[in-house]
Amino acid sequence: MARVALVTGGSRGIGAAISKALKDAGYTVAANYAGNDEAAAKFTAETGIQTYKWSVADYEACKAGIAAVEADLGPVDILVNNAGITRDAMFHRMTPEQWREVLDTNLSGLFNMTHPLWPGMRERKFGRVISISSINGQKGQMGQANYSAAKAGDIGFTKALAQEGARAGITVNAICPGYIATDMVMAVPEKVRESIIAQIPVGRLGEPEEIARCVVFLASDDSGFITGSTLTSNGGQYLA
């Protein structure tokens, strides 16, 4: 039977590309999303991938959502923690709410999703936890103290959990994309986007599919000796 993969934020942007690539690679895929029903319905119509709505920032909602996915599709062996948000502001203007929202989704979301799935992965002696961090968690980014802190936290989470999962056949890895052409980046004013592209040695934004292919590799049996690692895919912008 095909392994089941659950992708958070899996109906738009990088997550949608990941969901599709995992489906093409033969996995049974469930895509979670937060609130954009229209995008989720369109995604399901186009791909046949089932979508499930809950917030990764809410631990009880994650438990209930995962239970629904597992009742429909079977035990989840591959978790892709992709859901993420930005609430950018220079630090002197950043509100406690902007801090909390980003930390709750981009960092606590990893705990909320991985914790309920962990016992099953340990019992079955197989698991893949793949989390989408960011170049800005590696190098820091002005205007993103909240986002950079959360994304750096994702890498620490990955390294710690990799050690706990190793003997149980669970690998835990992070991917750090550079700037990728999704709604998140296209929402940035064009002038700023041009200045970002000027800093990327390959001279272009990345494509969501380029991150999806990294996920497919880390989900596969071929990657069983890779754990606790950070795979950077950023066009040479930051050499981590």
CB of 225 vs ligand NDP, minimal distance in Å? 25
* Binding window for ligand NDP (CB under 6 A); candidates: 71-79, 138-146, 157-165, 183-191: 183-191
Burial 147-184 (b: 16+ CB within 10 A, else e): bbbbbbbbbebbeebbeebeeeebbbbbbbbbbbbbee
Q: Which of 19, 108, 112, 134 binds ligand NDP (CB under 6 A)?
A: 134
Q: How many residues interact with ligand NDP (rule CB under 6 A)?
A: 30
CB of 205 vs ligand NDP, minimal distance in Å? 7
Q: Residue 147 catalytic?
A: yes
- What gap in Å lies between CA 132 and CA 15, rounded to an integer? 9
- Is residue 234 within 8 A of residue 199, CB to CB? The reply is no
Residue 153 binding ligand NDP, by CB under 6 A: no
- Is residue 102 within 8 A of residue 91, CB to CB? The reply is no
- Is residue 84 within 8 A of residue 132, CB to CB? The reply is yes
CB of 125 vs ligand NDP, minimal distance in Å? 28
- What gap in Å lies between CA 8 and CA 76, rounded to an integer? 13
Residues in contact with ligand NDP by the rule CB under 6 A? 8-9, 11-15, 32-36, 39, 55-57, 82-85, 105, 132, 134, 177, 179-180, 182-185
What residues act catalytically?
A: 147
